[in-house]
Amino acid sequence: MSEDARTSVRPMKMSQLSAASGLTVSTIKFYISQGLLPRPEKTKPNVAYYDDGFLKRLQVIKKMRDEGLSVKSIKSILDRYPFEKIADWEAFKRTAREKDARELEEEERLATLSGEERRTDAILDAAFQVFSAKGYNNATVDDIARQAGVSKGTCYQYFSGKEEIFVACMDRTMDKLIADANAAVEDTYDVVARMGIKGLTFISKFKDVQFMFIGLYSEIVGGNERLRKKSADLFHRIATFLAEDIDVGIEQKVFRKMDSITVAYALIGIATSIGNRDLTEDDFDVPGFLLKLTEFMQFGLMGDPSRAWGQKG
C-alpha cells in the first residue's frame, strides 16, 4: 500500500501496526522507549491504539534506519525536524545536498551521507564515547558495537579491528578541530587575533582531544609503532596549521623571523596546559588567560616594548 493510500487508516492495535509497518512489535516498542515515537494514549491499562500519523512517523524511522542512520542520529534529527511522512525526509535530504558543506547543521550533514558513510559514522561516534570512557587499552570492539547498536561483525565489515577504529577516530577528531578553527577565523585577518581564536577553539574542544591520549602513551612506550607514527602525524598537522599564521605574521613583520613550526609546537603545549587547567579549575578564566598570553606572544620576556617582535632595536 502506498503512503498516500494510508491517509485514512483507522486506529490500530500494536499487532496491526506491526503488520502495516513491516516491523516487529519489539522493534516498535524499542523505538518508543528511545523517544523516536510518542507514547500512545491508552484507552485501557493494557490497550493502546495507534493512528495514521504514528504509522507514517514509524515509516520515516524505518526508512532512515534502512539508510544506515543510527538510533541516536535519528533522534537528533527528529527532535529538530519532526517529519510527518517519508516525503518530508526526502525533501530535507535534497535541500541539505544543495547547501555548501560549511553551512550544514549536524542533522543536515547526516542527511547528505551515504548509507555506508552513516554506518561508519555511527561506529566512530560510538567508538569515541567508548575510548573516552575506558581509554584505548580497556576498550573492546564488543563495547563499540554495543554502544553503536550494531553487531560486532558489522564493525569488522568497516574496520579491521580496534586499532584501525581508534586511528579513524583520531583522524576524524583532528579533521573536525581544524575545520571548526578555520570556520571561527574565516572573517578575521589580524594574525594575532587569528591565533587567539584558534587557541580558544582548541581549548573548547579539549575534552574531545583528550580521549586520544588516554592509554595512548602506554601503547607507544610499549612499542606500538603505528600509533606512535599516527600521534606524530597529528601533532605535526596541528603545528603546521598554527604555523600558517605565524608565517604570515613574519611576512607582515608583526613577528620577528623565527622557526614557525618550533613556535607552533610550543603553543600546542601552552594550549594543552590551558585545557588541563580549564578541566580541573572551576573558576579558571580562559579568555583572560589568553589575553595575557597574547601580550606575551607580542612582547616575549623583553622588558623594553620597543624591542618587541617586528621592531628594530
Output the CA–CA distances (angstroms, integers) from residue 279 to 122, 276, 283, in the order listed.
Answer: 27, 5, 10
Based on the fold, state whether residues 126 and 181 are members of the same structural domain: no
pLDDT on residue 5: 44
What is residue 137's three-state secondary structure?
helix
Strand partners, 48: 42
Based on the fold, state whether residues 179 and 289 are members of the same structural domain: yes
Euclidean distance between the first and the last CA atom of the chain, given in angstroms as a whole number: 84
What is the rounded CA–CA span in Å between residue 209 and residue 74? 26
Based on the fold, state whether residues 172 and 293 are members of the same structural domain: yes
Q: What pTM did the predictor assign?
A: 0.68
pLDDT on residue 304: 58
pLDDT on residue 124: 92
Based on the fold, state whether residues 127 and 208 are members of the same structural domain: no
Count of beta carbons in the 10 Å neighbourhood of residue 72: 16
Based on the fold, state whether residues 169 and 271 are members of the same structural domain: yes
Residues 6 or more apart whose Cβ sits within 8 Å of residue 267: 195, 199, 242
For residue 130 the three cell numbers come to 567508548
Count of beta carbons in the 10 Å neighbourhood of residue 309: 18
Per-residue pLDDT for the chain (313 aa), expressed as one digit of tens each? 444 444 456 788 889 999 999 999 999 999 988 889 887 777 777 778 888 889 999 999 999 988 888 888 899 899 999 999 999 999 999 999 998 877 888 899 888 888 788 888 889 999 998 998 888 888 999 999 999 888 899 999 999 999 999 999 989 988 888 988 998 898 888 888 888 888 888 888 887 777 777 777 788 888 889 989 988 998 899 999 999 999 999 999 888 898 999 999 998 888 888 888 888 888 888 888 878 877 777 676 665 555 554 555 4
What is the rounded CA–CA span in Å between residue 106 and residue 179? 14
What CATH number does the domain containing 273 carry?
1.10.357.10
Total structural domains within the chain: 3
Residue 43, H or E segment: strand 42-44
Based on the fold, state whether residues 186 and 243 are members of the same structural domain: yes
For residue 64 the three cell numbers come to 532512515
Are 230 and 170 in contact by the 8 Å Cβ rule? The answer is yes
Range of the domain at 81: 1-113
Question: Can you list the alpha helix ranges (DSSP code H) found in 139-161?
Answer: 141-148, 152-158
What CATH number does the domain containing 102 carry?
1.10.1660.10
pLDDT on residue 57: 93
What is the rounded CA–CA span in Å between residue 176 and residue 106? 12
pLDDT on residue 92: 94
pLDDT on residue 8: 52
Based on the fold, state whether residues 140 and 54 are members of the same structural domain: no
Are 20 and 62 in contact by the 8 Å Cβ rule? The answer is no
Based on the fold, state whether residues 268 and 228 are members of the same structural domain: yes
pLDDT on residue 72: 82
Based on the fold, state whether residues 181 and 255 are members of the same structural domain: yes
| CA dihedral sign of residues 78, 83, 86, 92 | negative
Residue type, 253: K
Give the DSSP letter of residue 213: G
Are 112 and 104 in contact by the 8 Å Cβ rule? The answer is yes
Based on the fold, state whether residues 91 and 76 are members of the same structural domain: yes
pLDDT on residue 302: 61
Based on the fold, state whether residues 67 and 188 are members of the same structural domain: no
Count of beta carbons in the 10 Å neighbourhood of residue 189: 8
Based on the fold, state whether residues 137 and 173 are members of the same structural domain: no
What CATH number does the domain containing 150 carry?
1.10.10.60
Nearest Cα neighbor of 120 from 170, 169, 54, 59 is 169
